[in-house]
Structure 1
Amino acid sequence: MSSLESAGRPAAPNRTLAVAGVVHAVHDGYTDLIYVLLPIWQAEFGLSYSLLAVLRGVYAGSMAALQVPAGRLAEKFDGRVILAVGTLLSALGYVLAGFSGGAIGLCVALALSGAGSSTQHPIASAAVSRAFGDASRGPIGTYNFAGDVGKACLPALTSLLVTLMPWRHALWLVAALGLIAAAAVALMPRIRIPHHDLAGPARRSLGDRRGFALLCCIGGLDTAARMGFLTFLPFVLQAKGAALPAIGTALATVFVGGALGKFVCGWLGARLGVLRTVLITESATVALILATVALPLAPTLLLLPVVGLALNGTSSVLYGTVPELAPAGRVEHAFAVFYTGVTGSGALAPILFGVVGDAAGRSWGVSCAAAASLLTLPVVILLGRRLVPSHGRAGA
């Protein structure tokens, strides 16, 4: 039975999933909205690729650093309150970004917004996992699909708004969506986590902890590839002749493809297994990233939805495996640790790739993203071997 309760009655899993999806859409939309803003900030403040990557890294870094504390708070207090406050802080960060006058102000604003977003993944993911129990892999895929809907809609909306008004005003309008999402959290059933709740099978062994470490490694490399590629994509398209509205639309198509990838691969992973699904998505990611560098603008634009599908599809499979490998059954803590690793990687990788891009050109920076995706393949094979005896088809 679910450990989510509302007024002493069992919670409706679908309501938990719906609210978690709305909040995920807003937070992920805020996270990837930065990619549309990078060319604008570069033009207005004269920032280098490395400094632009630092701005992206500040957001991801503050989000990564606070996810474990957010997960621990959720184990002690009502997670809804923490999630609502975090959503408000994330919106406030973009309000402050609209008032900023340079790189320092942007860093402060993005750090605040990232700190607010640190609450979303560990709390909402665990809520969905607990609501659906052993059948959570598919719903977690749906939850991640909702996040990519936000990634597709908010950047596209902002790209349109900046053609109609100053970018600062556009940010203030987008920030208002955070208020709506915070209010929606009140509709989520109360998150109660009994001390005896192991969120699945009995306490895990040391082998599962090692498997969890491999899972975190794969997640880190996959996120490094995704964030590194997305950081350079606007500039790759710009070099091919794309204007700002076209870049915003192109990013939206990547995120639409990513949303579809997360939805499909979450369910596909439950049927084909972790090993087969991730090997397919990561191999495709390597080939497609390199293709976007080599192809002219028109074929690149046509390819981007498929790039998004492969680029984001892996994550749903990985997220759905977290509850299975959660050490000691602490699902909130496991999600917090996992997301800390992947968002930390997402913070550092674009900076490193940005240094390469400044030194050798944007094509080499994008190639680093493809290399990170390639490195996941041997680690996936190691994880698959560990999952076979303990999780049956999961590792098939």
Structure 2
Amino acid sequence: MTTDSPLSPDLHRGASTEAPRDARRTLAVVGLNHALHDGYTDLIYVLLPVWQAEFGLGYIALAVVRSLYAGALAGLQIPATALAGPLGARTVLVLGTLLSAGGYALAGASGGLVGLCVALALSGAGSSTQHPLASAVIARAYGTAARGPLGTYNFAGDVGKAALPPLVGFLLTQSDWRSVLWLVGAAGGVVALGVAGLLPRPSGPRGNRPGTMAVRPCVAPQQTGRTGFGLLVAIGMLDNAARPAFLIYLPFLLQSKGAAFAIVGVAFTLVAVGGALGKAVFGRIGERIGVTRSVILTEAGTAAAILAVVALPLSPALVVLPALGLMLNGTSSVLYGTVPQLAPGARVERAFAIFYTCTLGGSALATPLLYGPLGDAVGPEWAAAAAAATACAVIPLMLALSPRLSAHALSRAA
């Protein structure tokens, strides 16, 4: 069981709880780990056409396969956070990375669809460790100056999305998919060893155990915490549902426009490069123009870009993909940076765990229950258009949250 204690007064003036060099090393190590896990997550999209051809799967079945990974990733966020109390955040991060890598290696060794599904669920369970713990480790390292580093951390995840799927797409032209997944699993083992050897031990204020963090709230939790945090979670759920709802159909949309398999891999690179830029840029843009304007801009841009990709021929659609990635992932850095601000009771690590559980869990459920059947019923074009509508649904919720963010900012200034 974890214990919470207030951070030192220096933290409330923007100072970090670690030496600058250790804070930078912390960000670099968890960023590399994030790149691996996010690469693992998006790698599934590239493999869906392969598995469709091998196992004869429809869109609902493909959505279920993807959601086994995403569901395990989402559902185990809070248990993973609880393990950080007795074991320490670093140990849990290492064990999670080893499990995720082992799951992909097992997927390569699986003899059929059932074995593949079990392996993907194990890999997703391993990946459940890194989002809440790594985010809280960064928040502890940088204190109230953590919004920018959290944006950098999210940028690192998209570097993995930009690198691993196209690399696997190329390797699939040279070897069978099972052998490729063994290589993917081996790479994860190397990253786990790096986390074990390089991540600094926590040096936070006395009384904080590894894996815990608390920040004294600037306003009473009942004023902004519960209601504001609940709206933030709802926004995150819709935003996170729109992304896989579109990406699961992107390979099939491109193939219907005449794209070869190698072009599909390049397409995901274009989306991920734009997404990496979006996460790096919008985390800081949110500080300049405000959370509300940033989220409205990115969600409206996401909807417009999705509809453009659906309507345009192959070459213009490929040109749109970086801008789509920019908008599609730009919201997340703004939302992640707002979690500590609205954390109920100032329990930041638990707030991150709840946020990731709900947003990723909602995505894992919506894809097979809603967007998968929609694709089978009306085709990938209309299912992708539904993803655009989901992005637009964020806007009224963001307008409802805006007054609470303003109240928090005024109280903090006072």
1:54 maps to amino acid: V
Alignment map for 1:323-334 (pairs within 5 Å): 323-334=340-351
2:302 is matched with 285
Would you say the 8 A contact 2:31–2:153 is kept in 1?
yes
8 Å CA contact retained: 2:219, 2:411? no
Q: Using the TM superposition, name which of 67-76 and 91-100 deviates more.
A: 67-76
Amino acid at match of 1:355: P
Q: Is the CA contact (8 Å cut-off) linking 2:17 and 2:143 kept in structure 1? A: no
Q: TM-score, normalised by structure 1?
A: 0.95
Q: Which position in structure 1 is the counterpart of 2:162?
A: 152
Q: Does 1:336 align with 2:353?
A: yes
Q: Which amino acid aligns with 1:323?
A: P
CA distance in 2, matches of 1:154, 1:37: 12
Q: 1:120 aligns with which of 121, 125, 130?
A: 130
- Distance between the aligned counterparts of 2:276 and 2:117, measured in 1? 28
* Alignment counterpart, residue 58 of structure 1, candidates 62, 68, 75: 68
Task: Name the CA distance, whole Å, in 1 between partners of 2:100 and 2:123.
Answer: 4
| CA distance in 1 between partners of 2:354 and 2:398 (Å) | 19
| 2:38 equivalent among 4, 25, 28 | 28
1:346 to 363, 366, 380: 363
The answer on 1:137 being equivalent to 2:158 is: no
Point out the more displaced range, 139-148 or 170-179. Answer: 170-179
Q: Secondary structure at the match of 2:249?
A: helix
Q: Structure 1, residues 302-328: CA drift from partner, whole Å, max 9, x if none?
A: 110000000000000000001111112
Q: Find the counterpart in structure 2 of residue 198 from structure 1.
A: 214
Structure 1 SS opposite 2:200: coil
CA distance in 1, matches of 2:233, 2:44: 25
Task: Please say if residues 219 and 408 of structure 2, whose CA atoms lie closer than 8 Å, have aligned partners that are also in contact.
Answer: no
From the superposition, tell whether residues 343 and 258 of structure 1 become closer, same or farther in structure 2 (CA, over 3 Å): same
Q: Is the 8 A contact 2:213 2:348 kept in 1?
A: no
Alignment of 1:151-300 (within 5 A): 151-186=161-196, 187-191=198-202, 194-195=207-208, 198-201=214-217, 204-206=220-222, 207-300=224-317
Partners in 2 of 1:313 and 1:259 — Cα distance?
8
* SS class of match (1:312): helix
Asked whether the 8 Å contact 1:4–1:191 carries over to 2, the reply is no
Partner of 1:164: helix, strand, or coil? coil
CA distance in structure 2 between the aligned counterparts of 1:80 and 1:171, rounded to whole angstroms:
26
2:163 touches 2:269 (CA, 8 Å); kept in 1? yes
Counterpart Cα distance in 1 of 2:246 and 2:33: 25
Q: Which runs of 4+ in 1 moved over 4 A?
A: 1-6
Change (3 A) 1:159 1:392: farther
Counterpart of 1:80, as a letter, is R
- Provide the C-alpha distance between the structure 2 equivalents of 1:350 and 1:294, rounded to a whole number of angstroms: 22
Q: Distance in 2 between matches of 1:251 and 1:321?
A: 28
Aligned residues: 392
Provide structure 1 residue ranges, at least 5 long, that are not aligned to the other structure. none
Deviations 1:188-219 (A, max 9, x none): 11236635952354574123221111110000
TM-score between both structures, scaled by the size of structure 2: 0.91
Tell me, in whole angstroms, the C-alpha distance in 2 between the residues paired with 1:347 and 1:189.
Answer: 33
1:43 aligns with 2:78: no
Alignment RMSD: 2.0
Change (3 A) 1:222 1:122: same
Alignment counterpart, residue 312 of structure 1, candidates 305, 329, 352? 329
Query: How far is the alpha carbon of 1:137 from its aligned partner?
Result: 0.6
Alpha-carbon distance between aligned partners in 2 of 1:277 and 1:5, rounded to the nearest angstrom:
29
**What residue in structure 1 maps to residue 4 of structure 2?**
none
CA contact (8 A) 1:271 1:393 kept: no
**1:89-113 Cα distance to aligned partner (Å, 9 max, x none):** 0001101111223321121011000
Structure 2 residue runs without a partner (length 5+): 1-9
Preserved CA contact (<8 Å) 1:200 1:324 = no
CA distance in 2, matches of 1:177, 1:15: 21
Deviation at 1:4, TM superposition (A): 8.9
Identity over aligned pairs, percent:
57
1:359 corresponds, among 367, 377, 381, to: 377
CA contact (8 A) 2:291 2:334 kept: yes
Contact 2:16 2:144 in 1 (8 A): no
SS of structure 2 residue aligned to 1:12: helix
Instruction: Find the aligned partners of 2:16 and 2:122 in 1 and give their Cα distance.
Output: 29
Q: 1:78 to 1:204 in 2, by over 3 A?
A: farther
